[in-house]
Amino acid sequence: MKKRLTMMLLLLFAVASILAACGGSNANEGESEAPPSGNTGGETTPEKSEEPKLGGKLKVLTHRTDLVNDGTLDKYVDAFKAKYPDAEIEFEGLTNYAQDIQVRLTTGEAGDVLMIPSGLATSEYPNYFDPLPDEMFEDVYFADNTLFEDKRYGISTGVNTQGIVYNKKAFEAAGIDKIPASLDELYAAAEKLKAADIIPLYMNFGAQWTMGNWADNSAWYVAGDPQFASKLVSEEAPFKVDNAWGTLAEIARTFVQKEWVEKDLYTNNWEISKGEMAAGKAGMYFLGNWVIPQVIGAGAASEDIGFFPLPYDNNGQHNAPLGSDYFIAVSKESENKELATAWIEFFVKESGYVEDSGFMPINKTKESTIPQLAEFQSFKPTLIESEATDPKFNEIANKAQIGIGTGDYVQEYVVADDLQAAFDKLNTKWKEAKTALGY
């Protein structure tokens, strides 16, 4: 009996010693960190397999009023709550987001999570947003676009690219059995579509804004230089037949001159054109991947719509752009920043929002599950990320009344009798504005 009592006392003493030794550190500190998102495939202890015990309420401000109204965002919340059962998320859709969010930021009513307004200077980010963890940006596109003083304040919600959206049934009806990989093949496909009484390419000339794709929206990646426009600041005659601007202009002019576009050039038939594309009455668009869901929404079957890079020359290998949609951030005023950060990472990497919106994945190591984007990437284009342009470029263009981004000046030289003469007029205006501004 005495031996048994002695053993029990020794055991209690040993346990007490272990507990005392552990008392010198914070045992909960390690548990507050989120576990790795990857699955190693092996057995793990319960402590490592469980998600952090995060909970509370979040208010998320969004520009996607359509997804608020149709319940798509609620679907994402249900999946998020499977990981964080104690989380509650409320969405507020702002119809005029770009303007309304500016007011919300100044009044401190920006909720917990929001999209960063594009007009806000990066130097102001610390006033309104909480930095996101560095590990969130591993292998992510546009990782440094919201960087200020070594801290990142927003992460991209989706990646856009640009190319030829096409109707497969229209191609089949025209006898096109190979996707054009060169400019000559693109022209040959257009001729076959015209012969089949199908509009080869719906340029949407009358919509005007679409014409920027044949100029400033695309010249930088055709040139293979995201700083293409910035470098034009030092030039007195940037509009040249033998640079990227001229390359795109000549392609657009060829399509118009050969009557490979819509007959009624000057009427804005944007909405009508989507129905024409969906029905196979038009064969191609030169637009971004964002238009694909809209064509499908206009009545096309997803499997009948394809996407390939613009073959702007006959060299075989072509560039394509990568641009970001809105960047999402945690409000500095949020009282639940840890949960807000968890929602952001889930939203951009796991929810399905990227795919549902027709975007490319923000992770550089992943390929899109959207069939049209998978097809686009199968052509192995050289993808070039967009970069900020020297503000002097827009200052000169505005002073010269050259509507960068509007497409109006592009309309003029696409139908001009002499492209060089049209470029000379633009260059004269550019030089005068540049001189007046002292650049």
**pLDDT given for residue 14 in this prediction:** 39
For the purposes of burial, counting CB atoms within 10 Å of the CB of 49, is it exposed (0-12), middle (13-18) or buried (19 or more)? exposed
Q: In what order do the strands lie in the sheet with 319-324?
A: 159-160, 319-324, 382-385
CA distances from 419 to 81, 186, 218, 348 (A): 59, 22, 18, 44
Q: What is the CATH number of domain 55-158+325-378?
A: 3.40.190.10
Residue 285, both tokens: 């668009």
pTM recorded for the entire structure? 0.69
Tell me, yes or no, if the two domains 55-158+325-378 and 163-323+390-437 fold the same way. Answer: yes
pLDDT of 387:
83
Question: Which CATH code is given to the segment(s) 163-323+390-437?
Answer: 3.40.190.10
User: Would you write out the chain's pLDDT as a tens digit for each of its 439 residues?
Assistant: 433 333 333 333 333 333 333 333 332 333 222 222 333 333 334 444 455 589 999 999 999 888 898 899 999 999 999 999 999 999 999 988 888 998 999 999 999 999 998 768 788 899 999 999 999 999 999 998 899 999 999 999 999 999 999 999 999 999 999 999 999 999 999 999 999 999 999 999 999 989 999 999 999 999 999 999 999 999 999 999 999 999 999 999 999 999 999 999 999 999 999 999 999 999 999 999 988 988 998 999 999 999 999 999 999 899 999 988 899 999 999 999 999 999 999 999 999 999 888 888 899 998 777 899 989 989 999 999 988 788 789 899 989 999 887 899 999 999 999 999 999 999 999 999 999 999 9
Spans of all domains in the chain: 55-158+325-378, 163-323+390-437
CB 285 within 8 A of CB 201: yes
Helix (H) or strand (E) holding 114: strand 113-115
